[in-house]
Structure 1
Amino acid sequence: MHVLVTGGAGYIGSHTCLHLVESKIDVTVVDNFSNSSPEALRRVEEMAGRALRVVEGDVRDAGALDIAFAGPTPIDAVMHFAGLKAVGESVAEPVRYYDNNVTGTLNLIQAMQRARVHTLVFSSTATVYGDPAPEHLPLTENSPCGNTYSPYATSKWMVERCLADLHEAQPHWRIARLRYFNPVGAHPSGRIGENPRGTPNNLMPFVSQVASG
């Protein structure tokens, strides 16, 4: 099996790549390294003892995606982790977030269609639930969504709606949406974890930096 992972050098992406490679699955990574480092992928390769195929590029770049899909063996599935994720930043720069998260995903879907790949795991967010009323707690997959409070959350919800419409029109698509709350921590080895470029958007990277000196 061969899986394409967008944003594979990021926090969740790098852990996913490691798990896939350790499971003897071939991995192609597409990442523009805007908020991550190639070092994470080098460490994944060292830990797994197997090489990754890496295409440096942006999901908004159709040419880069076509190169990624034109690998030595066909891509069977896509795990889409590439995207901007800072709530506060999205309020200040909404157009940038819609361009990256929505346009980028639509561009990826079109590339998948050209490559005849119809299995997708989409990295969404629990913020699509908005601020749920007490009667809707605890949350389930069927809890009301869409009452979002930031451009980041709205961008993810817009993609979810696009994917739902896509599956309705073309039922042969197999799509999973992951609605995370606050994933934190690092690999037990300590070699990969959340280490974004610039100022972190949550507490754990600061804790890790202090602990490591």
Structure 2
Amino acid sequence: MTELYGGDPDLHARALLSQWSKYYFGLAAPAGVVAARLLRRNLDMSPARTQLVLRAGMPAALYFAENALHPPAGDPALRYAGLLDHLHAVIDMLASMARIAPRVLWSNAGNLLDYVLEQTTTKPPDDDAAWLFAPIGPDGEPNPLRMPLRDMKPRSVLLPSPFRARRVCCVRYEIPGETQLCASCPLLLTMSDDDLALQDAIHR
């Protein structure tokens, strides 16, 4: 991660781990959603049966067991069980490696899931996104994936309105020299027009 983002692996561990998790969820989220939403099947993503391939320390591929796909099901609680169990296990493990709040990692996962769900629309439309991001999870507890992004009214005309902002910041800004914020960063809502113009220039 330091080769990509800089920073010190000890001093900036939580910010670096947060960025690493985005690459990981970029592999896990599409696999789980394609299986659950398009194939209507649960994918066994249990860590014991899933192989992660790293290249230069970065997530490059996920391999699942040959019989990982379960029979088709209509209930989203069945179809997404493998993905949710996987996220719980991985996020618990990552959170134990650095002083990072699990909600930051869940927000990273939710941000990726929101994007993948937008790219995999179904006909007729389904309620998978509403189910995944509901306030209460299938276990009856507060859902860590609840509302990962919110439509906000920005105070600056330099931001689109509504502005789709993450509910929780990924703390990327903690890495020295990392001045470019995510396009959905909630910190953009607090910036002056001059700072927003700089962000726009950086993104270009």
TM-score (normalised: structure 2): 0.29
TM-score (normalised: structure 1): 0.28
